[in-house]
Amino acid sequence: MKKSALLIVLFLNGILLFSQTKEEQTIKEIYKSSLTNSKCYSWLDYLSNSIGARLSGSANAEKAVQYTKSQLETLGFDRVYLQEMMVPKWVRGEKESAYILDNKSKINVPVCALGGSIATPKNGLTAEVIEVKSIKELETLGGKLKGKIVFYNRPMEPENIETFLSYRGCVDQRSSGAKEAAKYGAVATIVRSMNLRLDDFPHTGNQNYGDLPKSQYIPAAAISTNAAELLSKTLKNNPKLKFYLKQSCQQMDDVVSYNVVGELKGSEHPENIMVVGGHLDSWDLADGSHDDGAGVVQSMEVMNIFKNIGYKPKNTLRVVLFMNEENGGRGGKKYEELAQANKEKHIFALESDSGGFSPRGFSIESSDAVFDKILTWKPVFEPYLIHSFVKGHGGSDIEPLTSKSIIKAGLKPDSQRYFDYHHAANDKFGAINKRELELGAATMAAMLYLMDQNYSLFEPK
List of domains in the chain: 29-90+253-457 (3.40.630.10), 95-248 (3.50.30.30)
pLDDT grade for 12, boundaries at 50, 70 and 90: very low
Question: Average pLDDT of the chain?
Answer: 96
Neighbours of 83 (CB within 10 A): 17
List pLDDT tens digits, range 231-290. Answer: 999 999 999 999 999 999 999 999 999 999 999 999 999 999 999 999 999 999 999 999
Residues designated as active site: 325
What percent of the chain is modeled with pLDDT above 90? 93
State the pLDDT at residue 10. Answer: 47
pLDDT grade for 404, boundaries at 50, 70 and 90: confident
List pLDDT tens digits, range 73-105. Answer: 999 999 999 999 999 999 999 999 999 999 889
State the pLDDT at residue 395. Answer: 98
Q: Which residues contact 168 (CB under 8 A, 6 or more apart)?
A: none
Residue 80 bridge partners (DSSP)? 262
For 366, which DSSP code?
A: S
Bond before 287 cis per omega within 30 degrees: no
Give me the torsion for CA of 324, 326, 329, 334, rounded to 10°. Answer: 20
Instruction: Return left, alpha or beta for 165; rule: phi > 0 is left, psi -120 to 50 is alpha, else beta.
Output: alpha
State the pLDDT at residue 302. Answer: 99
State the pLDDT at residue 19. Answer: 54
430 burial via Cβ count (<10 Å: 0-12, 13-18, 19+): exposed
d(CA 318, CA 336): 13
pLDDT grade for 128, boundaries at 50, 70 and 90: very high
Instruction: Kindly tell me if the per-residue pLDDT of 340 is higher than 80.
Output: yes
**Closest residue by Cα to residue 197 from 168, 232, 156, 159:** 156
Instruction: Kindly tell me if the per-residue pLDDT of 460 is higher than 90.
Output: no
**Closest residue by Cα to residue 333 from 259, 252, 423:** 259
Instruction: Kindly tell me if the per-residue pLDDT of 2 is higher than 60.
Output: no
List pLDDT tens digits, range 133-168. Answer: 999 999 999 999 999 999 999 999 999 999 999 999
d(CA 98, CA 244): 5
Instruction: Kindly tell me if the per-residue pLDDT of 16 is higher than 50.
Output: no
- 3-state SS assignment for residue 6: helix
- 3-state SS assignment for residue 406: coil
Instruction: Kindly tell me if the per-residue pLDDT of 114 is higher than 60.
Output: yes
pLDDT grade for 457, boundaries at 50, 70 and 90: confident
State the pLDDT at residue 305. Answer: 99
Instruction: Kindly tell me if the per-residue pLDDT of 1 is higher than 90.
Output: no
The residue length of the chain stands at 461
State the pLDDT at residue 461. Answer: 64
State mean pLDDT over 291-319.
Answer: 99
For 115, which DSSP code?
A: B
State the pLDDT at residue 9. Answer: 44
pTM (predicted TM-score) = 0.94
State mean pLDDT over 417-445.
Answer: 99
Instruction: Kindly tell me if the per-residue pLDDT of 46 is higher than 80.
Output: yes
d(CA 451, CA 98): 51
Instruction: Kindly tell me if the per-residue pLDDT of 13 is higher than 60.
Output: no
pLDDT grade for 3, boundaries at 50, 70 and 90: low
